[in-house]
């Protein structure tokens, strides 16, 4: 069976990847399954650069085909911030509470019609040198607005603040399977699921 390393320790992201790839004969691992993994500094100028850097580094370190993502929130009223700094917007890596508090504070005087935003997800898939050093990237987005209050307890990150007009709810109020049909990561993972059998030379289960 082929191993696929998903370069994350985020349980929410890992579960989303597992759900999309469940029909493939893969042993899907996360960084939590590695004894030692290098800390990758995300110093790229774009989501794609950061995702590729993580995928390349961890593919070589582990010897596994590696999937990495870099995703974040772009708010038009903030000139695209927090963007590639979304996970550490408040200064502390992965502190959802502080990141959401800062975002609400930055937008406290911004009216509803000017709170447009989008989630962005860039996926990078890399094979280590021993397996041909193949690479593939994809970028997907999801458009919405930033709410005035946090709503819902589903998801992670900025989900409770991201209002999706078509559903009339925030991503925090939507269950994971429903969210996956429209989200930035869901759309990117759908593209991944289509290309991965060829990339890894495996056959999906019927």
Average pLDDT of every residue of the chain: 91
Residue 90 lies in a domain: yes
Residue 205 lies in a domain: no
- For residue 93, the enclosing domain spans 2-200
Confidence of residue 193 (pLDDT cuts 50, 70, 90): confident
CA distance 37 to 160: 31
Q: How many domains, in total, are found in the chain?
A: 1
Question: For residue 188, what pLDDT is reported?
Answer: 93
| Cα 174–Cα 177–Cα 183 angle in degrees, nearest 5 | 70
Task: Please report whether residue 163 resides in a domain.
Answer: yes
Annotated catalytic sites, by residue? 70
CATH code of the domain containing 48: 3.90.950.10
Side-chain-facing half-sphere of 29: CA atoms under 13 Å: 19
Q: Is there a domain that residue 162 lies in?
A: yes
In a domain, 172, yes or no: yes
Amino acid 195: pLDDT? 85
Per-residue pLDDT at 202 exceeds 70: no
The residues, ordered by sequence, that sit 6+ positions from 76 with a Cβ below 8 Å of its Cβ are 114, 116, 117
Q: Are 182 and 170 in contact (CB under 8 A)?
A: no
Comparing 82 with 197, the larger pLDDT belongs to: 82
């Amino acid at each position: 069976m082929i191993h696929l390393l998903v370069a994350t320790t985020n349980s929410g992201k890992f579960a989303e990847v597992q759900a999309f790839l469940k029909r493939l004969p893969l042993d899907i691992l996360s960084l939590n399954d590695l004894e030692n993994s290098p800390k990758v500094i995300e110093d790229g100028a774009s989501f794609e650069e950061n995702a590729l850097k993580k995928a390349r580094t961890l593919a070589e370190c582990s010897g596994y085909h590696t999937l990495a993502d870099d995703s974040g929130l772009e708010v038009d009223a903030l000139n695209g911030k927090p963007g590639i700094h979304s996970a550490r917007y408040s200064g502390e890596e992965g502190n959802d509470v502080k990141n959401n508090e800062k975002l609400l504070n930055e937008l406290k005087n911004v009216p509803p019609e000017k709170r447009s935003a989008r989630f962005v997800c860039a996926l990078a898939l890399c094979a280590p040198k021993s397996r041909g050093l193949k690479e593939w990237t994809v970028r997907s987005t999801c458009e919405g607005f930033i709410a005035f209050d946090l709503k819902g307890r589903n998801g992670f990150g900025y989900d409770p603040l991201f209002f999706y007009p078509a559903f009339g709810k925030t991503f925090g109020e939507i269950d994971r399977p429903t969210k996956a049909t429209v989200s930035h990561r869901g759309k990117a993972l759908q593209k991944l699921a289509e290309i991965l059998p060829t990339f890894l030379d495996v056959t999906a289960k019927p």
